[in-house]
Structure 1
Amino acid sequence: MDRRKFFRSGSLFTLGAAVINPFQSSAAILDIDSVNKNKKAKNIIFLVSDGMSTGTLNMTDLYLNRKTAKGSNWLQLYKDNKVSRALMDTASASSIVTDSSAGSSSWGGGFRVNNGALNVSPSGESHLPIWQKFKKAGKMAGCVTTVPITHATPAGFCVNSKSRNAQDDIAEQYLELGFDIMMGGGANYFSPELRKDKKDMYAAYTAKGYQVVKTKAEMELASNSKPVFGVFSDDALPYYVDRNSDDNLKKTIPSLAEMSQKAIDRMKDHKNGFVLQIESGKVDWAAHGNDIAGLINDQIEFDEAVKVAIDFAEKDKETLVIITTDHGNANPGIIYGKNANDNFDSIQKYTQTNEWILNQIKPDSSISQVKEIIEKANGHSVSDEDAKYVLSYYDGLHKEDGLYNYKKLPYKAFAEMQGKINSVGWISMDHSADYVEMAMFGPGSELLKPFVKNTDLHYLMLQAAEVENKF
């Protein structure tokens, strides 16, 4: 394809009004002559660390440097000058603070939608999701995630829905659309025992030719010649640190990097290429819970998937890798103090999440039992006073709300208690309107400008792959 012709006649120049055109004055921004010299992206791998504030990226790199003398794969790409880098505006149509469905839809549909919606505009218009566009163009397409595969971020690349909460329906849409590999959690939306309507979606996927896999071993044994559908947990997968502290979970639940490698192996030999979204969804959930062990370790798990993608792209030389997040969350950071170094290093001893700790504590637990649970998980003792304070949330004296906190566990109180020991502070338990980090590697990365809107990425991917926006 003649890229000059594509850019002049394709979507960016035929959309018309500036209010619709996500690049605003695209002709002025894109250097057409330089783009002509670049190789097109046969494949695209889009990695999302959901809800990753810049502080999360920063702390994880510091944590790895101080623990292993080697920082994160993501920041090493910066240090080696291997990627194009930008800040991205993450707003939705309804707010400067986006949720994950609107954030993913901005990439997936190319337009900003209201929080809670998936590729359906405020006026009710549906925007064709980008993985469907690439399927129509002949590419394979898939998603892997650590939360339910029907959750907001993978769904934003794949389907249209007025509500992100319609996960039973999203499970059926995936089947109809025929994606090539979809893996994560979410048995609640596929199992006849767990779905409200008792439909057996596993049987439906099998009947359509999918290999349905429910364990790491089954995933590894699945043929790369047939579509793969993997569900490894009722809801989200376990936090990475909890998984790695449990031999049975390590044996049965694949990591994000392992799922990513399987997805690449499944699609890499397709003659027309592939597109793959990789999401670390529980970075966001940990931020909502101010759960530092969950946050850092799930970001590490994401970083391992970054390495899988980059290793493949460096050998393949036809793959665009995009690494970013949809929004900030809780904006954690290391707080100044004379013991900040040692305090932050204490997190290296954490073997379980705060979620694990707070679920171990029961209303009838004794103060000594609470102290024992915390010491086992965090590697240090706490005072009787602190243990008593945490326990007070279990007898009805105090309650905490918060997203993904269905049991009303005292995440905020516990994180504040930990902060005295680990020097980590949080501004909230919810999303923030930060401009976020993003990086690109491979063909098409030269299209990235230093500051972009989230919707820009939809059109950049189409340009990089030379797929016209005609569907």
Structure 2
Amino acid sequence: MISKKTRNTLIYKLGAFLLGCTFIFGLSTPISTKAEEKTVKNVIYLIADGMSDGILTAAKYYNDIQDGTLGNDKLSMDDIRSGFVKTSWANGPITDSAPAGTALSSSYKTNPGVIGLTTEGKPKATILEAAELNGLSTGIIATSEITHATPAAFSSHAESRQDYNSIMKQQLYKDMEVVLGGGSEFFESTGGGKRSDGKDLTENIKALGYDYVTNKSEMKESNSDKLWGLFAKRDLAYDFDRTTLNNEEEPSLAEMIEKAIQVLEKDEDGFFLMVEGSKIDWAAHANDPSGAIGDILAFDDAVEIALNYAKENQDTIVVVTTDHANSGFTIGNESTTSGYDDLTFEESIMQIKDFKLSAEKFTSLIKDKTDEEIKELIKAYYGYTDITDEELEYAKNGQINEVMKIRAKLGYSTGGHTGGDVYLGVYAPYGVEKLRGTVDNTELPKYIASNLKLNLDLANETLYEEMKTKLEAENAEFTVNTDDLENPYFLIKKGSKTLKVITNSNIVEVYVDNKKIEDNELTSVSILIGDIAYGNVKEVIDILNKDVSNGTIDDDNNNTNNGVDDNSGSNKIPISIKKPSTSKLPYTGAVVGSGFVVLLGIGSVAAGVYTLKNNKNKQ
């Protein structure tokens, strides 16, 4: 048996040992400081919609031959290529942009046409939402409508990619710092007039603190911390069309990303930015090599902006990929089945050197033109002379792309998407592992989340719990009102208090005895998928159980009817919003664990010191 003195000495030494281990553990374990926790502070995620390796190769050739010499120029994408991405959807090899965008944003496979949901119809948090929840600034950029499939897949959840009403409202209340692209008519009007619901959501955009801009000059002049730019009613122009026809109203993709970074980097916590070169896909669908090449080069200019920023700051990852391939483009067609090995650069590659306009824009320009005028326009925009009668007929019938294919020996296998693996490029700071090899599209958001120290699963549990069961467990009545299909809402009643949760928004209206007391803002939107409500249940319960006995009724919002106001909804911006205080999601248990060890060590040392002193006094 050991003596009491020996035991106390052992306690003291054990405490000192534990305390020393704690300090060593603390020095070697990432805890909560930004410098230690985040080697990577920012991520710029660029997606070239519909870009196959074939058309990318043609764009490289086009870029290379502009100075008349082959082999001395390359694209920014060439320097960072690290592998390939597999693009299948949940049950097939050829995906559309909705499930492809869902896989790239959330790491979940889904079905055709679906945005941000699993195959079972459950919403899953996106990498953008996880970044926003953890205090990073966020943004989306596209050359299509901002409600289109890829930007929508990062910022909304819907059963159909065509559900623009739900998508645009979710985007509006997502609290992103930057939104740049096309699609103003979805926020401003339908059919040239007011939107079908009579609302102009651009006023909501401004009320939420955004500087709303509609052209390049306004975008460049903005000094706001929140920027929302819509530069076309639908999609932006093809880049060749924008530059050739001197469209000064629309910014290039590179100009948009440069401005977005300028806004987002103000946040010391870091940022996440998604950038889509949308219309590469549209040109591929149209079998238009000129439109696709021009937009690939514009996309590469945007990649260069991102890379320059990342190299200068060394705290930024750049990830570049494609959601799927499109059209089966080839250099070589049926005319080269035999004799392909005799085909010269002059007979093929040099025939794309003078592309300056998309096929779509060319067709619009030749309307009511004479044959000779059409031939001159072909020469001006594609460099071809000695136009044959066959080529002229193609051009007059809206098929100038056929002339390009004949002249440059280009081929297409389809006007739709294809299932091949696509480009992957990654730039990472020194010491940060790159994503390499052939990877599945679901691996990209996991790679980004890992480097930003984001927990996608925990973000999903926080933002998109099923609401009804949890709220009924709080002894509340829960009902869904879909009388107005464009503006459904949830009613949650407990005693004299009723919450009206506006779907596709983050707004919760609070009523006591059928009188409106206040509006609250959740950290993300509440959504209705089928007949099931999803949202941040914990925050809703906090609002439901909050004491409002000292609250005051806003006379402007005071309802004198016998029920909750059915006229308020997601198109109305509350005058005063009370946002609950939230903390960032934990990534590991290091802080809690090391804190416990510290307390144990200190306690052991104190106990040892006390007992040793007592024994000494007794002696």
Class of the TM-score when normalised by the shorter of the 2 chains:
0.7 to 0.9
| Equivalent in the alignment of 1:271 | 268
Deviation at 1:245, TM superposition (A): 0.8
| Equivalent in the alignment of 2:76 | 73
Tell me the TM-score normalized by structure 2. 0.63
For residues 355-434 of structure 1, the aligned pairs below 5 Å read: 355-362=360-367, 365-381=369-385, 382-391=387-396, 393=397, 410-411=398-399, 414-434=400-420
Q: Specify the code of the residue in structure 1 equivalent to 2:412.
A: W
| Equivalent in the alignment of 1:197 | 197
Q: Give the Cα–Cα distance (whole angstroms) in 2 for the partners of residues 41 and 61 of structure 1.
A: 31
2:353 to 336, 348, 356: 348
For residues 79-90 of structure 1, the aligned pairs below 5 Å read: 85-90=82-87
Deviation at 1:422, TM superposition (A): 1.6
Deviation at 1:340, TM superposition (A): 4.1
RMSD: 2.3
**Identity of aligned pairs, percent?**
29
Does the residue aligned with 1:212 lie in a helix, a strand or coil? Answer: strand
Q: Give the Cα–Cα distance (whole angstroms) in 2 for the partners of residues 222 and 310 of structure 1.
A: 24
For residues 31-110 of structure 1, the aligned pairs below 5 Å read: 40-68=39-67, 69-78=72-81, 85-110=82-107
Contact (CA 8 Å) 1:73, 1:303: kept in 2 or not? yes
| Equivalent in the alignment of 1:216 | 216
Cα deviations across residues 14-54 of structure 1 (Å, max 9, x unaligned)?
Answer: xxxxxxxxxxxxxxxxxxxxxxx996321110011110000
For residues 63-462 of structure 1, the aligned pairs below 5 Å read: 63-68=62-67, 69-78=72-81, 85-192=82-189, 193=193, 195-224=195-224, 226-247=225-246, 249=247, 251-335=248-332, 336=340, 338-362=343-367, 365-381=369-385, 382-391=387-396, 393=397, 410-411=398-399, 414-443=400-429, 446=433, 448-462=435-449
Deviation at 1:143, TM superposition (A): 0.8
Q: Specify the code of the residue in structure 2 equivalent to 1:107.
A: L
Deviating above 4 A after TM superposition, structure 1's stretches of 4 or more consecutive aligned residues are none
Tell me the TM-score normalized by structure 1. 0.82
Cα deviations across residues 380-413 of structure 1 (Å, max 9, x unaligned)?
Answer: 232223323443x4xxxxxxxxxxxxxxxx44xx
Once the two structures are overlaid, the 10-residue window that deviates more, 166-175 or 255-264, is 166-175
* Ranges in structure 2 where 5+ consecutive residues have no aligned partner: 1-24, 31-35, 333-339, 460-619
Does the residue aligned with 1:341 lie in a helix, a strand or coil? Answer: coil
Q: Give the Cα–Cα distance (whole angstroms) in 1 for the partners of residues 195 and 379 of structure 2.
A: 39
Bigger-Rg structure (1/2): 2
Cα deviations across residues 196-241 of structure 1 (Å, max 9, x unaligned)?
Answer: 33421111101111100001000001114x2100000111110000
Contact (CA 8 Å) 2:394, 2:402: kept in 1 or not? no
Deviation at 1:67, TM superposition (A): 1.4
Cα deviations across residues 407-451 of structure 1 (Å, max 9, x unaligned)?
Answer: xxx44xx43332221222222111110111201111486152412
Contact (CA 8 Å) 2:117, 2:158: kept in 1 or not? yes
Q: Give the Cα–Cα distance (whole angstroms) in 2 for the partners of residues 122 and 5 of structure 1.
A: 38
Contact (CA 8 Å) 1:367, 1:384: kept in 2 or not? no
Deviation at 1:154, TM superposition (A): 1.0
Deviation at 1:331, TM superposition (A): 2.5
Does the residue aligned with 1:156 lie in a helix, a strand or coil? Answer: helix
Does the residue aligned with 2:166 lie in a helix, a strand or coil? Answer: helix
State the number of aligned residues. Answer: 411
Contact (CA 8 Å) 1:334, 1:340: kept in 2 or not? no
Q: Give the Cα–Cα distance (whole angstroms) in 1 for the partners of residues 410 and 48 of structure 2.
A: 20
Q: Give the Cα–Cα distance (whole angstroms) in 2 for the partners of residues 366 and 52 of structure 1.
A: 35
Cα deviations across residues 301-323 of structure 1 (Å, max 9, x unaligned)?
Answer: 00000110000000111111101
More relative contact order, 1 or 2 (CA 8 Å, 6+ apart): 1
| Equivalent in the alignment of 2:472 | none
**More strand per residue: 1 or 2?**
2
* Ranges in structure 1 where 5+ consecutive residues have no aligned partner: 7-36, 79-84, 394-409
Q: Specify the code of the residue in structure 1 equivalent to 2:348.
A: N
Contact (CA 8 Å) 2:428, 2:434: kept in 1 or not? no
Contact (CA 8 Å) 1:371, 1:384: kept in 2 or not? no
Cα deviations across residues 121-164 of structure 1 (Å, max 9, x unaligned)?
Answer: 22211111221111001100001111111111111111111111
Once the two structures are overlaid, the 10-residue window that deviates more, 378-387 or 236-245, is 378-387
Query: 1:240/1:445 Cα in 2 relative to 1: closer, same or farther (>3 Å)?
Result: farther
Deviation at 1:333, TM superposition (A): 2.4
Q: Give the Cα–Cα distance (whole angstroms) in 2 for the partners of residues 194 and 67 of structure 1.
A: 46
Query: 1:316/1:366 Cα in 2 relative to 1: closer, same or farther (>3 Å)?
Result: same
